[in-house]
A and B are shown apart, each in its own frame.
Chain A
Amino acid sequence: MLAASSVEMRKVNKFYGKFQALKDVDLSILPGKVTCLIGPSGSGKSTLLRCINFLEEYDSGEVRIDGQLIGYEAPNKKMSGRKLREMRRSIGMVFQQFNLWPHMTAKENVAEGLIRVRRMSKADAERRAVEALAKVGLADKMANHPSRLSGGQQQRVAIARAIAMEPRLMLFDEPTSALDPELVGEVLSVMRTLAGEGMTMVVVTHEMGFAAHVADQVGFMEKGELVGVDSPDRILHHPQDARIQSFLRTYHERNSF
């Protein structure tokens, strides 16, 4: 079993100029649990996710990882860069566009953080990188540059890059949305394995099947508000809120033929 983090968000607000992207967001995530975030485009799912590792700076409220406030020492007092980097070390993130470093091989992509951030020797880092790549089924591709990998393989390298750092929390921002349909499965199955090992995961996704089968809770966002957080069954199959019902109706219409 991995050590897993908890996440607590309290009254989190985020503005882009006058536009409010997050409105009083409250969210509790227990260690080892999987939370999926769904909702229409532009509703603030990415913004919420990126506030958890402070890639996006929230303006008020609190985000706590294992009880520790991230990004601020106190209200209006930013955390030092060093402290923030330390906290980010144990939070992995996977992006829609993979964001691998194109000038490095798969193995180098995974080893880079271990060498620069964890200060491991090159040999140790590479050993660990090979292990992480093997775990996502890419041991045979470790010498490939990203340009020589399929989208699904690139995303699995990105996951390996994150898990090699031994995070206690993983954030996924639409990890399969940029993939051709036939490549979605390989990425979801790696994520399912990770969830099974007890990793705390927050996943922004349009894969309702994944949300239904893997999530412990599903949050629905609209216009910057976290409208509802509940079990997958109650959000996806028996939604009470009219906004969720209408979103799912649109979703089902689009996905049936």
Chain B
Amino acid sequence: MDWSMLQQYGPSLLKGFANTIVCWALGTVFGMALGLVIALIQRYAPRWVTWIIQVYIEVIRGTPFLVQLFVLYYGGPLIGLRLDALPAGLLGLTIYGSPYFAEIFRSGFRAVPDGQIEAARAIGMAEGHIVRRILLPLGLVSALPALVNFSIILTKETVILSIITVPELLYQVQRMSAETFRYVEANLVLALFFWGLVETISRVGHRLEARITKHLIERT
């Protein structure tokens, strides 16, 4: 193996990695936010609204991210939605992740015992307060492991953004290997960066989990 090309390509690889992290972080945050809104609507909206949303969920979950991205980036201009690669990629990630996050939140909410919601209703608490003070905090706790897990899956979906020319890590790695023919080294670099990212996320996730469930675990 020959690592001498790292001298030349190091900076662009780092820049690519930074882009990957930004795409992943923003895509995750926006996707979670949209997913949360969807889950709340699913819980409180009238039947016909939840039915429409269910169709959205099925369509997004039933199609590959690659296809969604193509439709958005190359089909978007046909309906006047002209986006640069990066914003298109972020929007794509947000949309792609939202139904999965919505389902995760939904099952998190379902894990909150009815009795604890009823106890709040019984003292006359308004629904908005019930959501903010009881449903969300408790639902998030049970949703957290699945949220972290899906965020990790999303890290790997970011590489698909290279197809619409977002200069993220895979894009840079491919450029480097095309110019140097060092495919093995290039892919090792790619693997190493992702391994580091995933490892970090899962560690942070575990620590977060341990902290917020501290009080919820029954003493034995």
Binding site for B on A (CB under 8 A): 53, 55, 81, 85-89, 91-93, 95, 97, 99-103, 112-113, 116-117, 145, 147-148, 158, 161-162, 165
Tell me whether B200 is interfacial, beta carbon within 8 Å: no
A147 to B216, CA, bound (A): 6
A76 to B216, CA, bound (A): 42
B125/A91 in contact, CB under 8 A:
no
Besides A85-B125, A147-B218, A165-B123, 8 other A-B contacts (C-beta < 8 A):
A53-B122, A55-B122, A87-B124, A92-B122, A99-B113, A102-B116, A103-B215, A162-B123
CB contact under 8 A between A99 and B127, given known A147-B216, A148-B219? no
B115/A95 in contact, CB under 8 A:
yes
A117/B123 in contact, CB under 8 A:
yes
A87 to B121, CA, bound (A): 11
A102/B123 in contact, CB under 8 A:
no
CB contact under 8 A between A95 and B129, given known A89-B124, A147-B215? no
Tell me the total A-B contact number using a CB cutoff of 8 A.
80
B197 smallest CB distance to A (angstroms):
30
Closest 10 pairs (CB-CB, A-B): A99-B115, A99-B119, A88-B124, A93-B122, A89-B124, A145-B215, A85-B124, A113-B123, A116-B129, A117-B124
A103/B216 in contact, CB under 8 A:
yes
A148 to B216, CA, bound (A): 9
Q: Please classify how large the interface on chain B is, using the bins under 10, 10 to 19, 20 to 34, 35 or more.
A: 20 to 34
Closest to B138 in A: A103
B219/A88 in contact, CB under 8 A:
no
Closest to B220 in A: A147
> A95 to chain B: which residues have CB within 8 Å?
115, 118-119
Closest to A167 in B: B123
B216 smallest CB distance to A (angstroms):
5
Binding site for A on B (CB under 8 A): 113, 115-116, 118-127, 129, 133-134, 137-138, 141, 215-219
A89/B123 in contact, CB under 8 A:
yes
Closest to B140 in A: A103
| 25 interchain pairs, CB-CB under 8 A | A55-B121, A85-B126, A86-B124, A93-B119, A95-B115, A99-B116, A100-B116, A101-B134, A102-B116, A102-B138, A102-B216, A103-B216, A113-B120, A113-B123, A113-B125, A116-B133, A117-B124, A117-B126, A117-B129, A145-B216, A147-B218, A148-B219, A158-B119, A161-B123, A162-B123
Closest to A117 in B: B124
> A161 to chain B: which residues have CB within 8 Å?
119, 123
B124/A147 in contact, CB under 8 A:
no
> B118 to chain A: which residues have CB within 8 Å?
55, 95, 99
Closest to A149 in B: B219
A101/B116 in contact, CB under 8 A:
yes
